[in-house]
Each structure stands twice: as C-alpha cells, then as structure tokens.
A and B are shown apart, each in its own frame.
Chain A
C-alpha cells in the first residue's frame, strides 16, 4: 500500500467516525470531502410525486393482504389433510369390520379340518389299520377305543357336509346289519378232532 493509499484509508476511517489521527494534508482532504458532500447533497435531493407515493402505498397494502391470505392457506391445508386421512381410515376400518362380521356368519364353527374317513382306518386319527377288537385282550381299553372311535365318527358326521362318502359307508354298514338280522348266519361248526 502506497503512502497515498494509507492516507486515503485514514481519511475514510476518520470520516466514518473512527478515532484516527490525520496529518495536515489528510485533514484538508477530509474537510474538502465533507464540504462537497453537504453542498452537492442538497442539489441531489429530489421530491417524490404525491401520486406516485399513493400508488405505491396501495400496491404495498394489497401485497400485504395477499401475503396474509397465503399464510392462512397452509394451516387450512393441514386441517383438510387430517380430515381426509381420518375419514379414509374410519371408512377402511368399517369395511374391515363388515367383512369380518360377514365371514363370521357364513363360516361354520369348526376347530380343525376333518379329513374323510377311510375304510379300514383313519390315519388322521392315528389308526393305521383295521382294529380287530376281538383280539384285543383288555376289555376296558377296547371299550375306550370303541368309544373314542364312535365319538370321532360323530364329530366327523357333524363336521362333514352332507353327501360325503361317509354317508355311503354308514348306509352300507346299516344295510349289512339289517341283512344280518333278516338272514342270521348259522354259527360255524365247533372244531373237533380231525380224522
């Protein structure tokens, strides 16, 4: 920075109100600038037309009113969104309830799926082959087994829709029993020594 630059900077700081010490030439420069600013400044001033100020005042007021309206819109928008979301959720919940209630009426009361009864045993019930009751030694376990099978058959009859092959088998068993009563079979001959 040259000496002139330093002097100019000092004068500028002085005119800005800073506590700067100036030499004689700098003081003259500062005084000259201050005097010219005052005299030229008065000539630079210009009056504002009253009509222009009125027009600008009206424009400003209108802009403030529009800004106030725009500021109110986001709050209303949020409330509108909350209402729409809440309504949608309530409608969805109502639909789900209606569907659930409808299915509850239509569906039969059952706890487990019921596989069909297979002639000779039901693997689902843990019976893999026909049970020869006569060959089972203890009476009470046999009776328990029979009772359990009858109970299971009863459950299956209740759970199974009408017209299944279970009905067919029961019908065949009934026919066999009826024919047994109608045409009793002679007892087999007693076993004796063979010649």
Chain B
C-alpha cells in the first residue's frame, strides 16, 4: 500500500470505518499470517494470532499516533504476541515435531500449505517448505525472530535493534548467520 493511501486508510480506521479495517487486513494479513506461521510452525496458531491482532487493532488503533511508520508498529505488536505465546507455552518451535499426530490422525505436516503432493513439482515444494520449517526450528529464538521480522515486517536493522535492545552490528550478524543456515538447508534438498 502506498504511504499516502496507507495514511488515509489508517485515519479512516481510527474513526471506526469497517471498510478501512478490511483494507488493512487485505494488505497486511498475508504477511502477518506468514510471520505467525513461520514463528509457530502451526497454521492453527497462525490463524488464531492473526485474528487476535486484528481485534487488538480494533481496540488500540484509535490511540495510535500515526507518524508514518505503521508497519513497524504493527509488527512490533506481532513480535510481542509471539514472545508472550512462547512464554505461555514454555516451548519453542524447535521442540515441535512436524510429524506428531493429533487425535484425529492429522499432523503438522498435513497442515502445510500448497497443492496435494501428487505431482513432482508439488512434492518438491512441499518438501522444501518442510525443510525450511525444520531449518527455522534449528535457529535460536532471537535469530529466528530477526530473520522473520526483516522479511515479513520489512523492518530496518535499526528498528529491530531498538525492538530487541541490542547493538546494530549484533542484529546484522545474527540475521546474516540465520540466512546462511536457512540457505544451507534449502540447498541440501
């Protein structure tokens, strides 16, 4: 969304315009969902968290002071939600097994998006996504969050450094290391 259009949409949403909120959901929903999914490894949690953050917007957007950086503000809220959920669950995505089945016989593997693995291309994409999820799970929590916020939140290194309260060089080093690990897993398929 263009900056001017975003500013107008946020202003309308602050006045309670339902269409403005729908526009924000359409613009940022996919990125937020992707962030939540990659951070938790679960589609169920990703949908749950996306619904929760939109409800928080309904409650909190009126008090938001729009200084032109709506996206970092939005993804800071998302990052705090992930941190709170991890603290609540006291588990990390690294501890989750994608092949663990629930009472219905389904597993996290079955929840991965994409076409049914009945074609070579589909299967490759399916397996790549699976390996990427496993690779993400191997990163430490801080590095994983920084990599995901750089991509989905399009946050600058400065904004991530402020969010995590660590030096600028440290953020760059962690992101660089995390990207190398992910690329290594992707290239090993």
Contacts and interface: CB of A to CB of B under 8 A. Distances in A.
B30 interface: yes
A40 B54 contact: no
A16 B22 contact: no
Nearest to A42: B151
Given A43-B132, A44-B34, A67-B59, A49 B169 contact: no
A83 to B, nearest CB: 27
A44 B148 contact: yes
Interface string B15-40: 01010011001000110011001100
B138 interface: no
B47 to A, nearest CB: 4
Nearest to A60: B54
Contacts of A43: 128-129, 132, 182, 186
A42 to B, nearest CB: 9
B169 A8 contact: yes
A29 B172 CA distance: 10
Interface of B: 16, 18, 21-22, 25, 29-30, 33-34, 37-38, 43, 47, 50-51, 54-55, 58-59, 113-114, 128-129, 132, 147-148, 150-152, 156-158, 161, 167-173, 175-176, 179-180, 182-183, 186
